[in-house]
Structure 1
Amino acid sequence: MKAIVVTGKGGFAFQDLDVPQPRDSEVLVRVKACALNRADLNMLDGEMYGSRGGPGTVIGMEWAGDVVAVGREVKHVAPGQRVMGSGAAGFAEYAVADLGRVNPIASDAMGYEEASTLPIALQTMHNAVITQGGAGPGKSVLVQGASSGVGLMALQIAKAFGATLVAGTSTNTERRGRLTEFGADVALNPLARGWNDSVRDLTGGRGFDVIIDLLSGPYMAHNLEAAAVCARIVNVGRLAGRSADFDFETHALKRVEYIGVTFRTRTVEEVREINRLVREELGPHLQRGALSLPIDHQYRFEEAAEAFARMRANRHFGKIVLTLNQETNP
């Protein structure tokens, strides 16, 4: 099979590899489409992502396709079924993943391309917005950095679970203008003058109950300013920086719960439980088309260099997808 393999810092090659075989708890999928994530670029640049990285690494964190074979412990999907999955080594004609990371595609109307964009956003944001953040009826939710794929999903999940007020931020005027298409009641520029006044006006002076932070760095100060008393701030991403000044006095006065999340240190059992909740609690919303992500651009698998370049240039809104030759054989 063909796979995209890291060859060195900033480099990759298409290599012929053996088709992986599923262990007892795994699913082998014939990949039809796969979606790019920032971590893919990080690994191309020589960084480690958890325990993965370095020359010889097959990259790719989410994909969709058809089940080819399953291990004896797998009961919820079967050969021939259309599925979407996450994990490692997804930029290949075949991918294998733990049973807990593979879910049936929600509806017959959903194509492989759309399905490939969903696994990481669904898992990450159900956990961040609902399990960790506690968003729901009567709650106000702010998503910092809402124009990314996971950010757009956070807006939709908060709205689907009945949040009273959902706000999203972006410093890009064009992207900010599209946030209301994906569940935001209001879109804000976190760098605009009068930030505190905007937050007070929107929330009746209380601040936001739940803040999903995809930026961190200097934006942590904005989060504390925007937080209500006893708010929860869930840090998901650090695109704006991994460290910053922290106002411990405001943190204490507001009694804010500050929660960090990542999948890199989760156990197999934890990930399986997260996916069980995704199937159970988000499944109905997916089936009726209430949760989706825009596809910014589709490239053929052979055009991966162009796809990576587009992501590096940060020109995209939504997801970048690679499609594979559906006639490939093992």
Structure 2
Amino acid sequence: MSTHPTMQAIEYTGAGGREAVSVVELPVPTPGPGEVLVKVAAAGINRADLLQRAGNYPVPPGASSVPGLEVSGTIEETGAGVGPWEFGTPVCALLTGGGYAEYVTVPAGQVVPVPDGVSLTDAAGLPEVAATCWSNLAMEAGVQAGEWVLVHGGTGGIGSFALQLLKGIGARPLATAGGPEKVRRCLELGAEAAIDHRAEDFVERVREITGGHGADVVLDVMGAKYLERNVEVLARGGRLVVIGLQGGATGTLPLADLMGRNGSVTGTLLRPRPVAEKAEIMRRVREEVWPLVASGAIRTTTDATFPLERAAEAQDRFEAADRTGKVLLVTEQHAAKAER
């Protein structure tokens, strides 16, 4: 059990920009039945954290008001009914909130061991992206080996992981990215081809690359901006999975085109899913994705790390146009231990 009655954490004081980010002292939470207490080493920053800061992503009922959807750390305490997690075991976890803190409680089914070959710090950037990619590409879209899959934003946290995952399972990944440098990075990450959306039409280029076949699956973070063109790029029987709204939330869906392709559109969010669904996703991640990480087929890509108290700066870096990979917050307790 934690010997510290309070902990450092980040909270938002109202809705706004970086001025809303505050360092606070909160009580260390106590794990309830079926939960574990994790002593946080690092926390991953995700777009949902910034949407919450701006007041555009309400905290789900019962969730912590502290932002942060993924952490790495060590097992500190277990609640009633939790299986044999040993004190001090290195883990990473998918959260509904509470990650920007020195301790966090989480349902035991959302906690998994750190993959072999990954540092405890870097592991903080894995749960959200691994769960997002596997649940949407494998469980929702049913991607099969040999299928063409278009990933928008191929150098972002989700995109960079998705390209490697797709290559690891034998699919044929394609990517869009902004500028020649990011295009090159997509190729390094496993894309068979990468399209500079600033200079090229991605629908025309996908058709050219695939010999007129189109994309069997599109993984989209843009939403409304790309909706019509995403349907246009689909192969017959193609599946469009929308997981972000960076280009707007309301668009026109060309139903006749979609029906003519025998296509489908799915929109998903990970954060509000029931605990049982998240546990099943993390079970599949541990079984199907972690071996690819351990083998080196999927490499963690950390862009930058910041101390917890510099969360506002870290979120600025997350929004930077030249960011590639994950941005992480590191707790003082973990940094001090690493220095010894």
Partners in 2 of 1:194 and 1:47 — Cα distance? 31
- Tell me which residue corresponds to 1:257: 264
- Out of 235, 238, 241, which is 1:231 matched to? 238
CA change 1:312–1:144 in 2 (3 A) is closer
What is the deviation of 1:101? 1.4
> Which of the residues 58, 79, 84 maps onto 2:92?
84
**Is 1:31 matched with 2:40?**
yes
Q: Is 1:120 equivalent to 2:128 in the alignment?
A: yes
2:57, 2:240 → 1: CA distance? 26
Structure 2 residue 10 is the aligned partner of structure 1 residue 7: no
Conserved? CA contact 1:33–1:64, under 8 Å: yes
Native 8 Å contact 2:11 2:24 kept in 1: yes
**Cα displacement (A) at 1:176:** 2.3
Q: Match of 2:44, as an amino acid?
A: A
Query: What is the distance in 2 between the residues matched to 1:41 and 1:134?
Result: 30
Matches within 5 A, 1:286-325: 286-325=293-332
Measure how far apart 1:191 and its partner are: 5.1
> 1:195 and 1:268 mapped to 2: Cα distance?
37
Does structure 1 retain, via aligned residues, the 8 Å contact 2:40–2:71?
Answer: yes
**Cα displacement string for residues 27-53 of structure 1 (whole angstroms, at most 9, x for unaligned residues):** 101111111111111222223345269
What is the CA distance between 1:251 and its match in structure 2? 0.6
Secondary structure of the equivalent of 1:284? Answer: helix
**Following superposition, which runs of at least 4 residues in structure 1 exceed 4 angstroms of deviation?**
none
* Distance (whole Å) between structure 1 residues aligned to residue 11 and residue 27 of structure 2: 13
Runs (5+) with no aligned partner, structure 2: 1-6
Q: Deviations over 1:107-160 (max 9, x none)?
A: 1x3212210000000001001111111112121111122221011111111111
The equivalences for 1:160-179 within 5 A come to 160-163=168-171, 165-179=172-186
TM-score, length of structure 2 as denominator length: 0.90
Answering whether residue 203 of structure 2 is matched by residue 203 of structure 1, we say no
Structure 2 CA distance for partners of 1:225 and 1:307, relative to 1, 3 Å:
same
**TM-score normalised to structure 1 length:** 0.93
Amino acid of the structure 1 residue aligned with 2:238: A
Match of 1:158 in 2: 166
Give me the whole-angstrom Cα distance separating, in 1, the residues matched to 2:54 and 2:84.
37
Say whether 1:104 aligns with 2:113: yes
Q: Contact (CA 8 Å) 1:32, 1:64: kept in 2 or not?
A: yes
Question: Conserved in 1, the CA contact under 8 Å of 2:60 and 2:272?
Answer: no
Q: Please list every run of 5 or more consecutive structure 1 residues that lacks an aligned counterpart in the other structure.
A: none
- Which residue number in structure 1 is paired with residue 3 of structure 2? none
Partner of 1:43: 52
Give the Å deviation of 1:76.
Answer: 5.9
Q: Output the amino acid matched with 2:28.
A: V
Indicate the percent of aligned positions where both proteins have the same amino acid: 33
Q: State which drifts further: 215-224 or 230-239.
A: 215-224
**Alpha-carbon separation, structure 1, partners of 2:138 and 2:316:** 34
**Alpha carbons of 1:227 and 1:67: their partners in 2 closer, same or farther (altered >3 Å)?**
same
Deviation at 1:193, TM superposition (A): 4.4
Q: How far is 1:17 from its partner?
A: 1.0
CA distance in 2, matches of 1:225, 1:262: 24
Aligned pair count reads 326
Give the match for residue 271 of structure 1: 278
Q: What is the CA distance between 1:250 and its match in structure 2?
A: 0.8
Superimposed CA distance per residue, residues 230-257 of structure 1 (whole angstroms, 9 cap, x where no aligned partner): 1111111111111112211211110101
